[in-house]
Amino acid sequence: MLHADRRALALDQPATGHGGLTTMDKAPPARFRRSLSRLDLTMIGFGSIFGSGWLFAAAHVSAIAGPASLISWVIAGLAVLLLGFVYCELGAALPLAGGVVRYPEWSHGKLTGFLMGLVTTIAFSSLISIEIVAARQYAGAWIPGLTRDTGGDPTLAGWLLQLVVLGALFLVNRAGIGTFALVNNIVTLFKFCVPALVAVMLLAHLHPANFSAHGFAPGGSIGVEAAISTGGIIFAYLGLTPIVSVASEARDPQRTIPFALIASVLLSMLVYVLLQAAFVGSVPASLIAGGWAGLDAKLSLPFHDIAVALGLVWLGTLVVSDAILSPSGTANVYMSATPRILYAWSKSGTFFGRFARVEASSGVPGPALWLTFALAAFWTLPFPSWQALIGVVSSALMMSYALAPISAAALRRTAPDLHRPFRVRGFSVLAPASFVIASLIVFWTGWTVLSWLLAIQLLACIGFAGWRRSRNQPTGLGNAAWLLVWLAGLMLLSSLGSFGGSLLIPHPADDVVVAVFSLLIYVWGARSGIASPALPVDGDA
């Protein structure tokens, strides 16, 4: 599947050595400090994946899919792993800060880069607040007066506490990547040990009858698919891009990035599947006497409540402590990744230039970090609950992930001489398969979310193209037409499908139609790359 070239990436070679590629930036680049080891990057990956997802998703997906939720975790994990392979190739070949935003720009132009910057910035900054809100909700088990209603909205004291935690994360990241990595490694070790212990203890109280009491898959295939997109599973897995975002600060990135990407996904998938099996098998029979539907409403703090019901009060206490620390640790990862996304977006020329400034004293993009803090604080205002937000954020992030296979395919055609230290074998099958799967996951989010989420992105693209035209600058529509058709097509198919749509295309025919449509878009997008992409050289950050 994978092939690692022994040669080191030579970003310091002249432009003519890359088959006609040109230098993107002539000014001296901002310098990031290469201090992250393979362990650091793996911890960042696992830390970003393993946040609030494990705390709430098990109950939500059980209510949607029953015991078949185990299949949902495996499908989603494999889907993210496929995308991880693509990012291995891109990240090793172009290990630059905020690369996830730059890859679509290099392959398909400014419009695609602008949309990636917009979507990723909104998703990453809101993820920080989602994790902090989840930590505050669990902290309410110990500290009364933080949550004012069953919807999870904070009191004034609860909101102020969230702001204080955000401030602490800001200071950790302001100190530099070394301080961030140290704090993240300590927190992530604790984040791994507690869920592993929870899984072991609950599996010791397993009730095999729970797996068949109401049928293994009471929600059918629709339930399995819906659990992935709206139940919180894909949200729980989305942690690949923070690794790529700090690629310019990794030592030996050609080897450390692929290792960290693959290891963090596999490790997370193992723990998630064990936790889901433990949850399904240890739920008291009285709670599922009428079926799995509505189970999440009966367990406000799922693993804590089950541990207490089983008489494991000490385990419940440990869960609460980890439930406060674990999401906060993930928020810390995204507090680090978001400024680098803003930095890359700014470097592309489609966002304000001041956010590309890197502070010499700390090696941190200071203005971008301040904006990240402001955005995260904004998202902690009383918006919908954790469960209501994850469908939106999951869909937005998966859409940004979906562009990676097309960018990689286009660059293989337009930049064949680009040195790829980590080359994916079977790319012609793996890349389109990962794009199709990502499109399906977005489709499974449902019409309620996609009706406005896709429309907003379409309007943003059209507005950006109009703004570029008014300034007599290339719009990039020729290279990005496939993207607009993909957004519009997914919105149309969602309105006709079985996930909140009109049911004019019944299930599973709607899945087949979306898969075929996505495959056609992949072929179009892969052939629409910029003929001579201006890839970075000369140590550009």
Backbone angles phi, psi at 250, to 5 degrees: -95, 140
Instruction: Say which residue, 39 or 239, is predicted with more confidence.
Output: 39
Res. 193: pLDDT tops 70: yes
Identify the bridge partners of residue 36 per DSSP, sorted by sequence position: 250
Q: How many CB atoms lie within 10 A of CB 150?
A: 9
Dihedral sign for Cα atoms in the order 106, 109, 113, 116: negative
At residue 167 the predicted structure's pLDDT band, cuts being 50, 70 and 90, is very high
Using a pLDDT cut of 70, give the percent of the chain over it: 90
Residue 152 has pLDDT above 70, yes or no: no
> How far does the chain reach from its first CA to its final CA, in angstroms?
29
Q: How many CB atoms lie within 10 A of CB 227?
A: 31
Q: What is the pLDDT of residue 23?
A: 33
Mean pLDDT value across residues 124-135: 86
Average pLDDT over residues 129-138: 84
Give the model's confidence band at 10: pLDDT under 50 very low, under 70 low, under 90 confident, else very high: very low
Other C-beta atoms closer than 10 Å to the C-beta of 402 total 24
Predicted structure pTM score: 0.79
d(CA 148, CA 136): 12
For the chain, the average pLDDT equals 83
25 φ, ψ (degrees, to nearest 5): -125, 125
Neighbours of 14 (CB within 10 A): 11
Of 303, 324, 376, which Cα lies nearest the Cα of 135? Answer: 324
* Predicted local confidence at residue 374, as pLDDT: 95
Is residue 213 scored above 90 in pLDDT?
no
Q: Model confidence at 529, in pLDDT bands (50, 70, 90)?
A: very high
Model pLDDT, residue 6: 33
**pLDDT score recorded for residue 24:** 34
Percent of the chain predicted with pLDDT > 90: 30
CA–CA dist 45, 50 (Å, integer): 8
CB 229 within 8 A of CB 391: yes
pLDDT the model gives residue 439:
92
**d(C-alpha 248, C-alpha 363), whole Å:** 11
pLDDT score at 32: 59
- The pLDDT of residue 368 is 94
Strand (E) or helix (H) holding 365:
none
Query: What span, in angstroms and rounded, lies between the C-alpha atoms of 422 and 425?
Result: 10
* The 3-state secondary structure of 159-177, one letter per residue: HHHHHHHHHHHHHHHHCCH
HEC profile of 295-315 = HHHHCCCHHHHHHHHCCCHHH
Averaged pLDDT, 237-257: 77
pLDDT at 445 over 60: yes
Q: What is the pLDDT of residues 407-440, one digit of tens each?
A: 999 999 999 988 888 888 899 999 999 999 889 8
For position 459, what pLDDT does the model report?
Answer: 92
Query: Has residue 515 got a pLDDT over 90?
Result: yes
pLDDT single digits (tens) 287-301: 888 888 888 888 877
Residues 253-290 have pLDDT tens digits of: 777 888 888 888 898 899 999 999 999 999 888 888 88
- Return all residues near 177 (Cβ < 8 A) that are at least 6 apart: 32, 33, 35, 36, 246, 249, 336, 363, 364
How is residue 499 written in tokens? 């996930």
* Number of CB atoms found within 10 A of residue 16's CB: 10
Q: What is the DSSP letter of 147?
A: B
Question: What pLDDT does residue 29 have?
Answer: 42
As given in the structure block, the two tokens for residue 22 are: 């040109």
* CA nearest neighbour of 453 among 237, 230, 152, 296: 230
Q: Which of 190-199, 231-240, 448-457 has the lowest mean pLDDT?
A: 231-240
Across 151-155, 227-231, 340-344, 536-540, least confident range: 536-540
- Give the model's pLDDT for residue 382: 65
Neighbours of 447 (CB within 10 A): 20
Task: Give the pLDDT confidence of 18-44 residue by residue, as tens digits.
Answer: 333 333 333 334 455 566 777 888 888
What is the pLDDT at residue 385? 52
Residue 433 has a pLDDT of 92
